[in-house]
Amino acid sequence: MGLQVVWFKRDLRVADHAALAAAARRGPVLCLYVLEPSLWAQPDMAAQHLGFVHECLLDLDRQLRKLGGTLQVRTGEVVDVLAALHAHHAVAALHSHEETGNAHTFARDRAVARWCRSQGVPWHEARQFGVVRRLASRNTWQRQWEALMAQPQLAVPALRFAPAPPGWASNGSMHWPDAVALGLDPAQPPRRQRGGRMRGLAVLDDFLLDRCAQYRGGISSPLLAPSACSRLSAHLAYGTLSLREVVQATRARMAELAEGSKAPTPHTAGAPPGSRTPAQRQRAGLVAFTSRLYWHCHFIQKLESEPELEWRNLHRGYDGLREPDWNPAHFDALVQGRTGWPMVDACVAMLRETGWLNFRMRAMLVSVAAYPLWLHWRDVGLWLARGFLDYEPGIHWSQMQMQSGTTGINTTRVYNPVKQAQDHDPHGHFVRRWLPALRRVPDTWLFEPWRMPPSVQAACGVRVGHDIPLPVVDLDTATRTAKARLHALRATAEVKAAKAAIVDKHGSRKGMPGRTVRGADGSESPRSTPAGPRTAQAVPPAHQLSLDF
């Protein structure tokens, strides 16, 4: 058989890799990653993503070398790279996983499909997540998700590697341009997660065996969440781990914990009757985590079914709501962490340093941008996409619209940054950690420092409006005005009339873990694009997050 090209995209592993397994059955394999300048020029890409991918590819190359081959990394546009390869060594077939990415990758995949058809090269695409291409009805989605997750993981195949074309080997599989050469801002969070499958497996094991006990009580707190959350999101986004192996490992661990809990356990000395054992806390955390694995694909399916979700309002009745009122000063204050609301500015500081925030704080940032600052979600979303190491377009843009109120089917979510600080950082440890200027401010004034009397400011050496910014707007007044404008539009007959179709296409269905079915006007129902690429265990609801849309 002829040359089988495996095109790695956001699936940077060899285990449970459907494209690699399929290619191995058909003939000699060439493993290819294409570093696409046009992709890295997109406004949602950042140097930290490039660095993480580089680390993942180094690890992937090590995995392939153990199997007797190498990873070929080429810089260029995919069609050009494939055409050059085809000219030297006829490509018998192209293999990859499906990708639900941004609009650029969608257009790129269509160009690759056209090239394959023109050259008579079959392109075999396998499912990467529980996302269904050309999904006819959301009613069948959960059943298909469960069927895929229940299938056995694919073993690392025995591979027969094809030689690289002339000139490729000398380039080396790790020839890698720097961020500046690709037009990226070279700055990146100094404490971001590092990439590669070995690191991903270590994070998974650590979570399943230990940290999951903190999950239910810790994921909303910006202080506890860095360890309480799974921290697998970046590894899932770039495919160093397959979603199926995470689902199956989680369920296997839950079964172990359930079996162990059958043995009678004496109460810990001093613990109140009915308190949970460590194993029970771990299992409860994994039950809640399992629901997030469903939601992961549930949200990506929305972008698969409706690619326009990335750049225009899901409910077109909200067009024009915020667009004419864009305020560059408000946006700059948000991006610079100078809004004057300590919890917001502390989150921005943490994001710049680590490339990560927990879900609750992400939602708060978007809510503050959308309501008191009255900013349209698109530019805010691009800034956050560059800021989040684990940027996954389907999840990201769905959440941007949900938190901004433009889906048309969700309750208005407004996160007051003062209340969020009081609820999730009651002693001010998080704010003081990330905002050194506030470390001497008394607890009474910490979350609303603009209210400090001049005498207190002098005593703690903080001048509001100089050392720390004043709030860019009056929080209560601006929030009330924003909500009134949104609700007035939502109440119109035209906006109400378009709601049912969105629910039917994008809402979740009965049986989705972690939710209660709400009926036609509040339920959810998963990017099917006719043009081309693009009965489950019941899980008790997890109360820390609300991921309705």
Structural domain includes residue 222: yes
User: Sign of torsion, CA 366 479 302 253?
Assistant: positive
Structural domain includes residue 35: yes
13: left (phi over 0), alpha (psi -120 to 50) or beta: beta
Strand partners, 125: 96
Structural domain includes residue 518: no
Structural domain includes residue 176: no
If asked whether residues 240 and 320 sit together in one domain, one would say no
If asked whether residues 333 and 291 sit together in one domain, one would say no
Last residue of a domain, one of 105, 128, 151: 128
- Per DSSP, the residues of 450-508 read GG--HHHHHHHT--BTTTBPPPSS-HHHHHHHHHHHHHHHHTSHHHHHTHHHHHHHH--
Please give the Cα distance from 469 to 22 (Å, whole number).
58
The total domain count for the chain is 3
Structural domain includes residue 171: no
Q: What is the 3-class SS of 316-329, one letter each residue?
A: HHHCCCCHHHCCHH
If asked whether residues 285 and 332 sit together in one domain, one would say no
Q: Which helix (H) or strand (E) holds 3?
A: strand 3-8
If asked whether residues 285 and 326 sit together in one domain, one would say no
User: Sign of torsion, CA 252 258 264 270?
Assistant: positive
* CB-count burial class (<10 Å; 0-12, 13-18, 19+) for 8: buried
If asked whether residues 290 and 338 sit together in one domain, one would say no
Q: What is the pLDDT along the chain (549 residues), one digit of tens a residue?
A: 699 999 999 999 999 999 999 999 999 999 999 999 999 999 999 999 999 999 999 999 999 999 999 999 999 999 999 999 999 999 999 999 999 999 999 999 999 999 999 999 999 999 999 999 999 998 999 999 999 999 999 999 999 999 988 888 654 456 788 899 999 999 999 999 999 999 999 999 999 999 999 999 999 999 999 999 999 999 999 999 999 999 999 999 999 999 876 655 554 445 555 567 999 999 999 999 999 999 999 999 999 999 999 999 999 999 999 999 999 999 999 999 999 999 999 999 999 999 999 999 999 999 999 999 999 999 999 999 999 999 999 999 999 999 999 998 777 889 999 999 999 999 999 999 999 999 999 999 999 999 999 999 999 999 999 999 999 999 999 999 999 999 999 999 888 887 777 767 666 655 545 443 333 233 333 333 333 334 333 333 333 332 232
Task: Give the domain extent around 20.
Answer: 3-128
If asked whether residues 384 and 481 sit together in one domain, one would say yes
Q: Which helix (H) or strand (E) holds 398?
A: helix 393-404
Last residue of a domain, one of 95, 128, 161: 128
Helix-helix angle 278-305:499-506, to 10 degrees: 120
User: What is the reported pTM?
Assistant: 0.90
Reference 17, options 296, 301, 198, 240; nearest CA is 240
Q: What is the CATH number of the domain that holds 288?
A: 1.25.40
Q: What is the CATH number of the domain that holds 98?
A: 3.40.50.620
Please give the Cα distance from 138 to 337 (Å, whole number).
40
If asked whether residues 298 and 379 sit together in one domain, one would say no
Say if CB 6 and CB 19 are below 8 A apart. yes
Q: Which residues contact 461 (CB under 8 A, 6 or more apart)?
A: 440, 467
Q: Which helix (H) or strand (E) holds 5?
A: strand 3-8
If asked whether residues 291 and 316 sit together in one domain, one would say no
If asked whether residues 291 and 398 sit together in one domain, one would say no
If asked whether residues 365 and 436 sit together in one domain, one would say yes
